[in-house]
Structure 1
Amino acid sequence: MEDSLRARIRAGDADAFAELFDDTSPEVHRMALRATGDWAQAEDVVSLTFLEIWRLRQTVRHEDAPLRPFVLGVGLNVLRNQSRSARRHRAALARLPARENQPDFADEVVDRIADAEQVAAARTALGGLNRAERDVVLLCGWSELNSEAAAEILGVAPGTVRSRLSRARARLRASVDA
């Protein structure tokens, strides 16, 4: 029976290949699980083993030797290849310069959201002021200019700047309280 199974596998018979898979995949999985200690990696080894057997199906000989050793041998080679590949990958990563830890930007995002909310609230509050009061708040309150510098920019007396600023603050307090 095994000889006909070999011939059917060589011919590309999917049912014969499924039979071989059903008969031998649990053993390949056990071998891979014992070698790696990882269920997922063992499943990968099984998949790669049978992909490789399908690729090499023409090399299955007419010999009387059972197919089980052939399948386990291919599985062992897959394990070796994975191990070698992982070793090369670790070595390549070791050659890379160490990455600097990136600071957690979550707090910055929260701060930006809070800032955006405050700016929106301030714009709403400024919208309730007339243009002259708004200009004084922007220059003296936010840009931190003194009343003389703001008066020079606006072309008014420093006392006018101070009175506009006082009225603007009172209106802003009233809108915030409301």
Structure 2
Amino acid sequence: MKFGTNRARVFHRALGLLANRHDAEEVVAAAFFELWRKRRAVRLVNGSILPWLLVTTVNLSRNARRATSRNERVMRTLPRTQAVSAPDAAALETKDHLTNALQRLSPADGALFILTASEDLPLAEAAEAVGLKPSTARMRLHRAVAIGVGGSHSLRQQPARLLSSTTFPGQPRLPRWETASP
């Protein structure tokens, strides 16, 4: 196959058609892969595979240009994203307070708080999700709020807004069988 002797010519053909070095390298790799894949059916011209490689490179380059064109067309039709304003200092402080408080809870209690405050699940559904009875879940949620998870005034007013933009390390949503506790 003589990769070394034909690679430069195939690369220059692809680069001339694509004008992007990285795309040209991908086309060269694809052309040689096709040569290897179809090695039993490739027609040699005067004992050389170069003509077959060049034709394959031209076809692959055209496909790459069409794909790029389609992708750019789709990207132009997508709505532009608006800049998101930075959160204010009070929101960051509240978020830190909430994160610290949730880390002090057990995984089941933290998941219970997140499910009820952020995901707006009814207490009965949240309790079932973490493997607790509704009465036990109510008591644990009350205790979580009492120790400071929802203790500040701003947390009581807008817990869903704060939780929706917050990730809580160590507080995954665990399957029921992993959260059941006495």
Bigger proportion of residues as helix: 1
Larger Rg: 1
Taking CA–CA contacts closer than 8 Å with sequence separation of 6 or more, which of the two structures ends up with the larger relative contact order? 2
How high is the TM-score relative to the length of structure 1? 0.46
